[in-house]
Amino acid sequence: MHPSARQYRPDPPAAWAGGLLTVDLGAVAANYRLLRDRVGPGTTCAAAVKANAYGLGAERIVPVLAAAGCRVFFVAHLAEGAAIRPLLGADSTLFVLNGAMPGTEADLHGLGLVPVLNSVEQVARWQDLARRLETPLPAALQVDSGMSRFGLSGGDVDMLMARPAPLAGITPLLVMSHLACADDPAHPANQAQRTAFLRLRRRLPHAPASLAASSGLFLGPDWQFDMVRPGAALYGINPTPDHPNPMRPVVRLQARVVQTRWIGPGTAVGYGAAFIAHRPSHIATLAVGYGDGFPRALGGRGIAILPSRPAVKLPVIGRISMDCLAVDVTDLGEAPLEAGTALDLIGPHNPLDPAAAAAGTIGYELLTGLGARYHRVHVGDDAVIDDMQKGSSA
């Protein structure tokens, strides 16, 4: 073993990383409470914590949501559920949206997870396990109300309900579907899907109903039913894109300056000479790139902010590289920008949704794509944040 290997720290300091990702756990809890209170006491407010709580760390997010009163959670895959189930008490229910892959039904049940059954085949396999165990098993039933993605079609429901004891061995905890256009309140698909959902639900055994996720619950009480399943809104993504964001921001992404240089007019920056300076320019190289999940599409479109000068929007220039990007900091003036200074790529003056839009994507994709190389800190660890911010007042 090389002697230096003994010095490795499994939780290295912020200064070892090129970027800092700050997650405001208090904002997550506040967002959950806002959503819960919006639907009222007659409707359960669940939480979608799939994709590692939208990339922000399920091991930290899930306990916060549980402490805020959430008792129903949704993940996409069995493996996600297996990791999260130990974080929850026996009074919590954890649904797996993709159901069980063939041959994994016993594993899913043994881990205390509840499948969302999306097809006649999934129903049959869950019933087979119930027969072998000689006990009814809980499940959610998903119907396809018009998105053509997951769920039992009208024909599937006909086939299922034509059988004797069609759901023998299954205890339905929920009948659910998902809206395709909930972020556009005027879209006719919303009402069409609600109508289809009501029709399909009436043909199935009675169980609590759920149709709305983040944007859907803002369509009003007629879409909220017995349970809503917000995900994106919990993490600060705007569920009402045509209106001001009602949610508190959760994420701040910062990148450290590696070096700066002055260049003359006509000088190229980055791969492909995609940026050519048209004036004497002060260029800062930051230690974050697409290898960190910062979209390559933001080259020439994104901005950075020096926290002490929030009114100055610093353009990201040229092509974003795997491990770095360039920012034109000329408009900050002659003051030196020291190595190690942290600039905001997402933050209070460049929110998540506009940053994603500049990349031609949505906040969901930007959040879930943020990589593992950032030093991650949760609000409250002031020493780490202060360490990362050194020099930011330059």
Residues acting as catalytic residues: 50, 271
CB 352 within 8 Å of CB 298: no
Q: Quote the CA–CA distance of 362 and 298 in Å, as a whole number.
A: 13
Per-residue tokens: 146: 């018009």
- 3-class state of residue 334 by DSSP: coil
Compute how many other C-beta atoms are within 10 angstroms of the C-beta atom of residue 134: 7
CB 10 within 8 Å of CB 193: no
Residue 289 Cα distances to 204, 306, 319, 370, angstroms: 50, 18, 10, 10
Give every CB contact of residue 39 below 8 A, 6+ residues apart in sequence.
Answer: 45, 217, 221, 224, 228
Helix (H) or strand (E) holding 117, with range, is strand 114-117
Q: Quote the CA–CA distance of 342 and 324 in Å, as a whole number.
A: 14
212 secondary structure, DSSP code:
-
347 secondary structure, DSSP code:
B
Q: Cα 330 from chain centroid?
A: 34
Question: Rg of the chain's alpha carbons, rounded to an integer?
Answer: 24
